[in-house]
């Protein structure tokens, strides 16, 4: 695809010749990608005659066209392994049956990675520490410490947190950080260890669309965070 994969944009220093600044996604673009992928999973899980399990959701399998719309592909070799390391749900390691809940887990990890810029296989996540646990311990009062530095720089340029410190009392007064916090919570719930505790993709779509609508209010657009965005499933094609 014209714009490569989500992996390229989240981790532009890997295999990319362009300057890093040319491969950065702003916050709204990341939310758009998250919404598109959520729409696609919701379609596969609930709108097909027989529910379809993607089974290998990860950044390298989310492809972006010229308009930054999403396409997804999966790899037969990865499917035999029931997903990629770091993205496969814990129950798949115990010979559990494949389920839509497994896709929800992978989606949750993908969402957390998109906002932190950290892979679930990051070397700091060992000895019982995971991307999920790392985020869970930091919320809700330490959002500024865990978001991708690129997003933090964007918010400063937009004038939204230039005066914000790590004081927890400031968090509730900033719309940008409130939305980040809400999306982090969705990612944490989706990547819960127990399948029964995870969200349904229909609920994920509803909540993310609500957050995006809040971010795209005229006051937000006036702050310079503008981008064309897809309205959902009409702009999504999944290839198997």
A 10 A CB-CB count for 134 gives 17
Query: Cα separation of 74 and 83, whole Å?
Result: 9
Asked if 73 and 239 touch (Cβ cutoff 8 Å), the reply is: yes
φ, ψ at 128 (rounded to 5°)? 90, -15
Q: In angstroms, how far apart are the furthest CA atoms of the chain?
A: 52
Q: How far apart are CA 217 and CA 226, in angstroms?
A: 11
Quote the CA–CA distance of 142 and 135 in Å, as a whole number: 9
Options 56, 103, 148, 174, the catalytic residue: 56
Compute the Cα dihedral for 215, 224, 142, 101 and give only its sign. Answer: positive
Q: Is 213 assigned a catalytic role?
A: no
Burial of 159 (0-12, 13-18, 19+ CB in 10 A): exposed
CA distance 198 to 45: 14
Q: What positions carry a catalytic annotation? A: 56
């Amino acid at each position: 695809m014209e714009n490569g994969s989500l992996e390229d944009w989240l981790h532009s220093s890997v295999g990319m010749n362009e300057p890093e600044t040319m491969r950065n996604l702003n916050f709204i673009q990341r939310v758009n990608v998250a919404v598109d992928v959520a729409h696609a999973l919701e379609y596969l899980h609930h709108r097909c005659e027989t529910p379809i399990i993607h089974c290998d959701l990860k950044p390298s399998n989310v492809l972006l066209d010229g308009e930054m719309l999403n396409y997804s592909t999966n790899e037969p070799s990865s499917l035999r392994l029931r997903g990629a390391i770091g993205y496969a749900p814990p129950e798949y390691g115990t010979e559990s049956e494949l389920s839509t809940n497994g896709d929800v887990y992978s989606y949750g990890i993908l969402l957390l990675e998109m906002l932190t810029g950290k892979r679930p296989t990051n070397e700091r996540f060992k000895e019982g520490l995971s991307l999920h646990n790392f985020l869970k311990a930091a919320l809700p009062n330490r959002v500024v410490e865990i978001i991708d530095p690129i997003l933090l720089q964007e918010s400063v340029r937009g004038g939204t947190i230039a005066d914000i410190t790590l004081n927890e009392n400031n968090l509730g007064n900033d719309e940008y950080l409130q939305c980040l916090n809400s999306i982090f919570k969705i990612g944490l719930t989706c990547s819960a260890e127990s399948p029964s505790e995870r969200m349904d993709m229909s609920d994920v779509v509803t909540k993310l669309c609500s957050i995006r609508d809040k971010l795209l209010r005229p006051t937000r657009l006036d702050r310079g965070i503008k981008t064309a965005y897809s309205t959902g499933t009409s702009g999504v094609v999944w290839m198997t």
